[in-house]
Amino acid sequence: MTLNRRQFMRTASGALVYASAASVLRSAGLKGEEPIKVANVLDQTGGLNIYSLKQISGCAMGVEDLNKAGGLLGRPIELLFYDSQSNNQFNSQYATQAFVRGKAHVLQGGITSSSREVMRPIVRKFGGLFFYNSLYEGGVCDRRHVSTGMVPAQQLEALVPYVMGEHGGKRGYILAADYNYGHITAKWMQKIIRENGGEDLAVEFFPLDVTNFAPVISRIQAAKPDVVWSVLVGGAHMAFYRQYEATIGKKNLMLASTTYGVGREQTELSADEAEGILIGTSFVDDLPSPAAKSFVKKFQAWEGNSDYVGEYGEYGYRGIMLWAEAVRKAGSPEPDAVIAALDGVQYDGAGGLYTIDGKTNHTTMDIHVVRGNRTGSFDLIKSFGQRPPKDTQLVCDLDKNPDDTTQYEPEV
C-alpha cells in the first residue's frame, strides 16, 4: 500500500482514514480544527483495479496537497477510503457508510457506469454530493453528480475529424466493448464519421472477456478500411492490440482509439505493439506543458516509483481540486452550498484548464490528439482547446430542471 508512506492511518467510522500527519497540520496551522471529510470509494481489489489504483493515489495526493497549503476554509481535510473490491454490492454499502457513519461532505469515486448508477441514488437519499472521475458514455443529468472525465462527443469531435483529415482515415471499421459505453461511443463515432463525409464499414461488439480476435482481424482485412477504431476496454481486450500487431500491423493499417491509454495499456505492450496508435485524451504524462511535467514528477515522488501516471491518476487529483475550488467559492463544504456554486468553477490542472458547466455538471477541457511512441508513452500531435461536453448539453439542462436525475441516452 503506497498511501501510508507519508501519512498515518487509523480506522474510524468504518473506513480507512488517511489523515495528514500531525506535523503537516501543525505547520499549516490546522491542528484542532473540525475536519472536512472526503470519502473515496474505489476498487483497490479485483479486476477493475487496473483503472483505480492510480486514481486512489491521485485522490490521496490531492488531499495531502490541500492540507499542506492550509486546508480548505481554514479546516483540515480528512480522507475516508473504502475498497469496493470491483463489486457493486460494496459500492452500495460503502456509499451509505460514507454518508451515515463517515459524515462525508463529498463522495469521490466509482469507475464503471454501473457502480455510478448504484451510488447516485444513495447520494440523493442522503442529500450529498458525488464527483465521478471517469471516462464515461455521457448523459447523466443530476445536480448532485459531477463528471470530471471525458464524454464521447467531446473526445470524438476532436479526434475523428483529425484522423479523417490529416491521415485520410475516411473508411472506418469500429470495434467496441459490448456494454453501454461501447454502444453509445460507437453511435457517436458513426455519426461524426458520416458528418465528415466518411464511411463506417462495420461496427462490432465484443464481450469483455473475449481474448481471441483472430476472426475479426481477418474480417477487417477483407473489408479493407482506412482506419480501425478501437473502443475496446479492460484486461481481456488488451489481446486485440497484440494480435493486431502480429497480423495486420499499424504500419499497414492505421489504428485509433478512444479508450486506449486510459488503463495505461501502452505500458503493458511491447514497443512495436504500442507505437503509432492515435488517441484523443485529456491527459497523458508526456504533454509538453510545465503543469503536466511538474504533476507527473510530484505524483511519482509521492508514490515513490517512476510509473506512468496516466489519465485516471490525473482524474483523481482533478476531482479533488475542482471540488476544492467549488468549496472555496461556496465558502462552505455543505453539499447544497457547493452545488449552488458549481457553475463556472475552474481549475488549471495538468491537462489544461478544466471548467465545470453548471447546466450539466460536466467538465469542459482540452482534448489532445497524441500518438503512441516506443518508450511507453505518447507524443503530442495537436491540442484542441476547451471542448465542451456537447452530447450531454444536448439532452440535459439542470438550470431548467434542477430535480432531474435521469441518465439520458443521446439520440444519435
Partner 1 sequence: MEQVAIYAYQIGVSFSIFILISLGLAVIFGMMRVINLAQGEFLMLGAYACVLATQAGLSLWLSMFVAAAVVGLFGIVVERVIIRFLYGRIVDTLLATWGLSLFLVGGITTLFGPQSESVVNPLGNVTVGDIALSQYSLAMIAIAIALLIGTYCLWRFTRFGLIVRGTMQNPDMARGLGVNTDRVFMLTFGFGAALTGFAGAVLVPITGAAPPMGVFFIAKAFITVISGGHLPLIGTVSASAIFGAIDGFVAFVSSSVVGEMSVLFVAIILLRLLPMGITGHLRRGL
Partner 2 sequence: MAGRPLGLGPAASPPKWWWWLFVVLLGAGLLAMPSLVDISVQLDVSIMLILALLALSMSFLWGYVGILSFGQTAFFGLGGYTYAVLALNLGETTGSMLAALVLPMLFAAVLGYFMIYGRISDIYLSVMTLVVTLILEKGIRATSGDQFVIGTVRLNGQNGIPSVPSLQIPWGGGAELFIDGVFYLAAVLLILVYVGLRLLLLTHFGRVLVSIRENERRTELLGYDSRRYKLAAFVIAGAIAGLSGALYAVWGNFVAPEMFNLSQAAQVIIWVIVGGKSTLIGPIAGTALIQYLTTWLGTQGVGQVTLVLGVVLMVFVLVFNQGLLPTVGLILAGLRNRMRAGTGR
Binding site for partner 1 (CB under 8 A): 45-47, 49-50, 53, 178, 204-207, 209-219, 221-222, 224, 235-236, 238-239, 242-243, 245-249, 263-264, 267-270, 272-273
Task: Report how many helices (DSSP H) and strands (DSSP E) the chain contains, helices first.
Answer: 13, 16
> Would you call 206 helix, strand, or coil by DSSP?
strand
Half-sphere exposure of 386 (CA within 13 A, CB side): 8
Residue 123 interaction partner, one of partner 1, partner 2, none, beta carbon < 5-8 Å per kind: none
Instruction: Report which of 226, 223, 219 is spatially closest to residue 171, judged by C-alpha positions.
Output: 226
Q: How far apart are CA 181 and CA 155, in angstroms?
A: 13
Give the CA-trace dihedral at 99, 101, 103, 106, to 10 degrees.
-40
Among 27, 29, 69, 89, interactor with partner 2 by CB under 8 A: 89
Whose Cβ is closer to partner 2: residue 16's or residue 277's?
A: 16
Residue 162 binds partner 2 (CB under 8 A): no
Residue 14 binds partner 2 (CB under 8 A): yes
Whose Cβ is closer to partner 2: residue 34's or residue 411's?
A: 411
Whose Cβ is closer to partner 1: residue 114's or residue 212's?
A: 212
Instruction: Report which of 170, 172, 177, 236 is spatially closest to residue 204, judged by C-alpha positions.
Output: 177
How many residues bind partner 2 (CB under 8 A)? The answer is: 45
Residue 188 interaction partner, one of partner 1, partner 2, none, beta carbon < 5-8 Å per kind: none
Q: How far apart are CA 395 and CA 24, in angstroms?
A: 45
- Find all residues with CB under 8 Å of 257, minimum gap 6, and list them: 229, 230, 231, 232, 277, 278, 279
Q: How far is the CB of 235 from partner 1 (least distance, A)?
A: 5
Residue 114 interaction partner, one of partner 2, partner 1, none, beta carbon < 5-8 Å per kind: partner 2
Residue 44 binds partner 2 (CB under 8 A): yes
> Of 99-128, which residues contact partner 2 (CB under 8 A)?
99-101, 112-114, 117-118, 120-121
C-alpha cell at 402: 434542477
Whose Cβ is closer to partner 2: residue 183's or residue 242's?
A: 183
Residue 248 interaction partner, one of partner 1, partner 2, none, beta carbon < 5-8 Å per kind: partner 1
Among 46, 235, 276, 358, interactor with partner 2 by CB under 8 A: 46
Q: How far apart are CA 126 and CA 103, in angstroms?
A: 10
Among 51, 90, 229, 244, interactor with partner 2 by CB under 8 A: 90
Buried b (16+ CB within 10 A) or exposed e, 347-385: bebbbbebbbbbbbbbbbbbbbbbebbeebbbebeebbe
Among 6, 68, 170, 183, interactor with partner 2 by CB under 8 A: 183
Residue 235 binds partner 2 (CB under 8 A): no
Whose Cβ is closer to partner 2: residue 284's or residue 396's?
A: 396
Residue 131 interaction partner, one of partner 1, partner 2, none, beta carbon < 5-8 Å per kind: none
Q: How far apart are CA 396 and CA 138, in angstroms?
A: 10
Alpha carbon of residue 399 to chain centroid: 25
Give the CA-trace dihedral at 122, 125, 131, 132, to 10 degrees.
30
**List of residues contacting partner 2 (CB under 8 A):** 1, 3-4, 9, 11, 14-16, 44-46, 81-85, 87-90, 92-94, 96-97, 99-101, 112-114, 117-118, 120-121, 178-180, 182-183, 205, 207-208, 407, 409
